[in-house]
Amino acid sequence: MDVRIAQRRRDIRSERWQRRWRRARIGLMILLALAALAALERSPLVAIEQVEVVGTERLEPREVLERAEVELGSSTVRLRPAEVEARVATMPLVRAATVRRLDPLTVQIDVVERTPALRLQGRDTAVLLDRDGVVIDEAGGEDLPVVQVRAPAPELGSRVGEYPAVANAHAVWQGLSGPLRASVVQYEASGPDELTLWLTSGVEVAFGRAERLDEKVRALGAVLEDVGATPVERVDVRAPRAPVVVGP
């Protein structure tokens, strides 16, 4: 009996020693892996040598690089693509950005720019709006429908929701049917409740608020179809069930 007890005790001590040795080996392997990772991060083998910017048209690549804040010589292992994408996406002209490692030395920033849809003419300056109502850039010689407002033009990066008169005009632009939208050259936004459309034919349309849009669009389309080649100066669809047509 004493022999069996002694053997059992030896077996228990052996098992304890083996468990401790396995834990020590695992700990050593983790330390070695961390040390290797730290050495790799400091290695020139993964130091960023080039940052490429693709997809820009209105933006200068250097502007994107400045906003991205990716430092040459830093480790691609430490690169946080989501953080870089978030910084680039704060630029008014940027709809989306994707950052990826092409290789251990090269990072690519793929930019999707916002496309101008309207020219917003303010009291002193003109800016461009995209389809989402974001003020994306200063206006140049773009041939776009004009939204005319009496106040100063909004700041770059702002959204039309902050400016009721502009928001009303933008909502009407979005709600117009394709052919009718193409025939509007100017949206005169005198106030949040006052909107006048000027058509390529020279017809003035009193549209008012961006409400009951479908009814107003149908009423305007029906009136224009009915009058055909008959000269018309003004159409009022603020009460779409009883549109008013004024001749020369």
Q: Per-residue pLDDT tens for 148-175?
A: 998 888 899 999 988 999 999 999 999 9
Rg (C-alpha) for the chain, rounded Å, is: 33
Instruction: Verify that 182 and 215 share a domain, yes or no.
Output: yes
Instruction: Verify that 168 and 222 share a domain, yes or no.
Output: yes
Q: Picking from 23-32, 57-66, 69-78, 133-142, which range would have the lowest pLDDT averaged per residue?
A: 23-32
Q: Which of 186, 188, 176 minimizes the C-alpha distance to 224?
A: 176
Instruction: Verify that 221 and 121 share a domain, yes or no.
Output: yes
Instruction: Verify that 120 and 105 share a domain, yes or no.
Output: no
Q: What's the CATH code of the domain at 130?
A: 3.40.50.10960
- Tell me which of 53, 84, 113 is where a domain ends: 113
Instruction: Verify that 95 and 201 share a domain, yes or no.
Output: no
Residue 248's pLDDT is: 74
The span from the CA of 206 to the CA of 71, in Å, is 55
Residue 61 in this model has a pLDDT that exceeds 80: yes
Asked if 232 contacts 217 with a C-beta cutoff of 8 angstroms, the reply is no
Task: Please give the structure tokens belonging to residue 195.
Answer: 């909107």
* % residues pLDDT > 70 (the chain): 83
Residue 21's pLDDT is: 67
Instruction: Verify that 90 and 122 share a domain, yes or no.
Output: no
Instruction: Verify that 187 and 218 share a domain, yes or no.
Output: yes
Instruction: Verify that 166 and 89 share a domain, yes or no.
Output: no
Residue 11's pLDDT is: 59
pLDDT tens profile 102-112: 888 899 999 99
Q: What's the CATH code of the domain at 65?
A: 3.10.20.310
Give the pLDDT band (50/70/90) at residue 178: confident
Residue 22's pLDDT is: 72
Task: Please give the structure tokens belonging to residue 39.
Answer: 């050495």
- The predicted model gives 184-195 an average pLDDT of 93
The values of phi and psi at residue 204, to 5°, are -95, 130
The values of phi and psi at residue 245, to 5°, are -115, 130
Residue 113's pLDDT is: 96
Residue 1 in this model has a pLDDT that exceeds 80: no
Instruction: Verify that 127 and 236 share a domain, yes or no.
Output: yes
Instruction: Verify that 153 and 203 share a domain, yes or no.
Output: yes
Instruction: Verify that 225 and 126 share a domain, yes or no.
Output: yes
Domain count along the chain: 3
Q: What's the domain range around 182?
A: 116-246
* % residues pLDDT > 90 (the chain): 59
Residue 136 in this model has a pLDDT that exceeds 80: yes
